[in-house]
Structure 1
Amino acid sequence: MFMERKIYNSELWNNKQGETESLPSFMTRFKNMLSKVEGISNKSALEALRGALRCPSAFCQEMSINTPLIAKVTEGTSDRYTERFKAVYPLLKDVALADAPGKEEVRLVTEPIFEFSIKFAAEAEEATTIAIWCVTKNIDCCRCWFTNYHEEYPKASVALLKKFVEEWDDHSPELLSSYYSINLLKRTMNNFLLLNKKGSRNIPLFIEADDYVNYLIKKVN
């Protein structure tokens, strides 16, 4: 299938990032070209993207994975990886969902994407937005969130909580759509309160987190 697509969509398969073209600019152009290719699979889209990028070898290794569902962060500078996330991951989310119509498929897509995006939520607005999208589509992402809260990504978790508070009216219909979802969200928020107390009530970050968590608990109850 990939070889057939390559023959009939030469503009996409021969597309390359320019020597002086920024990653965000290239990704906008690539996504526009990709939208014109009907029926393209995850594997083929990522193959075309991988071949077109002018990027560090570590990123090429990441993109060599056939599916975005298990993409991992490799070692590197924060700025470079934040730029990468802003440009690439919204596209990967869209491509992944194209072949994930069922509940189980969505679960397989959202959990790894959430785990990846939470790493950048304190630095990139796009990461926060995608992390929230993951939780609304799959409430079990809260389990991953709890695992990463605040031991590894305290600022990211606070950024995510803040966004949930600000956009509660937009996301509450999905978050409160079932007893299971309500119960898991409530348990997660209560566990966050306990973790904040174990951290330190004197640290402004945890105090801010408490404010957001208490707000969400009231909304869920």
Structure 2
Amino acid sequence: MKQVGQQMFNFAIKAAGENNPELSKEAAGICIWCFSQNAECYKQWERAYGDNIEASVAILKKLSDDWKEQSAKLSPDPLRDTLNGFKLKNEKVLTTGTDSRQGLFKDGDKYTKIILGRVTRSHGCTACLTVTVLALAVGFVFLSPNLESWDVQKLSAVFNPQH
């Protein structure tokens, strides 16, 4: 399926940039499916971004609109890397002001930032959960009602191995 995903992506990104809203939306969905099949498709998308900005904006919009459904199927690290690359490309075009497709790059930048925020938050929530669980475990140990029955010297030795 990896090779099929890469081959389909090449056709789908062209269709996603067409001036037919239904075709564009369907093709954007196929592109997102390709990302779930092969992370190499993210690299293809990065290479095609500027030349296919209409298609890229359609893909970003679909990904943003369908985030709850799509996010579980996608690898966050390659997606985050790709979006960070888009962010830099968008900033370059928007600061120079010489590209006639600035409105598309502005839309691309908007969706890129929205999705980046979601990818970053979902990754951060995992870290928050880990810290919360550790804090609860430490709190349980130290606030246990049977604390008197514990040997404080043994407990101290665990936390201070030099003694």
Shorter-chain TM-score range: 0.5 to 0.7
* Structure 1 position 137, deviation (Å): 2.3
Compare relative contact order (CA 8 Å, sep 6+) and give the higher one, 1 or 2: 2
* Structure 1 position 204, deviation (Å): 1.6
Kindly name which structure, 1 or 2, has the bigger radius of gyration based on alpha carbons: 2
Write the distance in 2 (CA, Å) between the matches of 1:174 and 1:196: 26
Per the alignment, residue 111 of structure 1 pairs with: 6
Unaligned 5+ segments in structure 2 are 121-163
Q: Would you say 1:122 and 2:21 are equivalent positions?
A: no
Per the alignment, residue 198 of structure 1 pairs with: 92
Q: Would you say 1:164 and 2:63 are equivalent positions?
A: yes
Cα distance per residue 1:108-143 (max 9 Å; x no partner): 110111011101102223222211111122232101
TM-score, normalised with respect to structure 2:
0.63
Cα distance per residue 1:38-97 (max 9 Å; x no partner): xxxxxxxxxxxxxxxxxxxxxxxxxxxxxxxxxxxxxxxxxxxxxxxxxxxxxxxxxxxx
Per the alignment, residue 134 of structure 1 pairs with: 34
Per the alignment, residue 28 of structure 1 pairs with: none
* Structure 1 position 164, deviation (Å): 0.3
Per the alignment, residue 154 of structure 1 pairs with: 53
Query: Quick one: percent identity of the two aligned structures?
Result: 36
Amino acid at match of 2:92: K
* Structure 1 position 184, deviation (Å): 1.1
- Spell out the pairing of 1:1-221 with structure 2 (5 A cutoff): 106-123=1-18, 124=23, 125-150=25-50, 152-175=51-74, 181-201=75-95, 203-221=102-120
Write the distance in 2 (CA, Å) between the matches of 1:127 and 1:182: 21
Q: Which has the higher helix share?
A: 2
Write the distance in 2 (CA, Å) between the matches of 1:200 and 1:219: 23
Write the distance in 2 (CA, Å) between the matches of 1:127 and 1:205: 18
* Structure 1 position 167, deviation (Å): 0.4
Amino acid at match of 1:217: L
Write the distance in 1 (CA, Å) between the matches of 2:107 and 2:58: 10
| Runs of 4+ more than 4 Å apart | none
Amino acid at match of 1:194: L
Equivalent pair of 1:137/1:174 in contact (CA under 8 Å): no
Amino acid at match of 2:8: I
Amino acid at match of 1:196: N
* Structure 1 position 213, deviation (Å): 0.4
* Structure 1 position 145, deviation (Å): 0.2
Per the alignment, residue 65 of structure 1 pairs with: none
* Structure 1 position 198, deviation (Å): 1.9
Write the distance in 2 (CA, Å) between the matches of 1:139 and 1:167: 19
Write the distance in 2 (CA, Å) between the matches of 1:107 and 1:161: 22
Aligned to 2:15, what secondary structure does the other structure show? coil
